[in-house]
Amino acid sequence: MPQTKHALLVENDQNMAEELSDLLKGIGFKVTILEDPSKAPGALESHEYEVALMNMQLPDQSWQKTLNLVRNASKSTTIIMIARAPGENDVRTALNAGSYAVLERPITRDQLTSLIVPKNSGMFVALRD
């Protein structure tokens, strides 16, 4: 029996969270959705996540704190930041903080699959349409 893969999704927009959750489930992940990033410590205690997708446009720049929490909890978690029209400085900040990639919304199944199934070999990528 294959081992369950877990994904953490930090997204405050319910429609976007459902859409991304469906994409992740479609490629074999069990998904934990956090609408409130302050709940991340509890979620990180309950599972080791293979991948974490986080909205870069959370209120009060809380994505940076959440990224650090995930990175400190598990060095092996692939962190992917998502944003609508991310600025160059935001992309650079996210990559320097330990994000594996920054994806611009809307995100396709092919984009996610290419980044996390199988995991690329340490290359930092910023994709834009």
User: Residue 64 maps to which CATH number?
Assistant: 3.40.50.2300
pLDDT of residue 3: 73
pLDDT of residue 121: 46
| This prediction's pTM | 0.84
Instruction: Pick out the chain residues at pLDDT < 70.
Output: 1-2, 61, 118-129
In which element (H, E) is residue 91 found? Answer: helix 88-97
Q: How many structural domains is the chain composed of? A: 1
**Cβ(7)–Cβ(53) below 8 Å:** yes
pLDDT of residue 62: 75
Q: What is the domain extent for residue 46?
A: 5-127
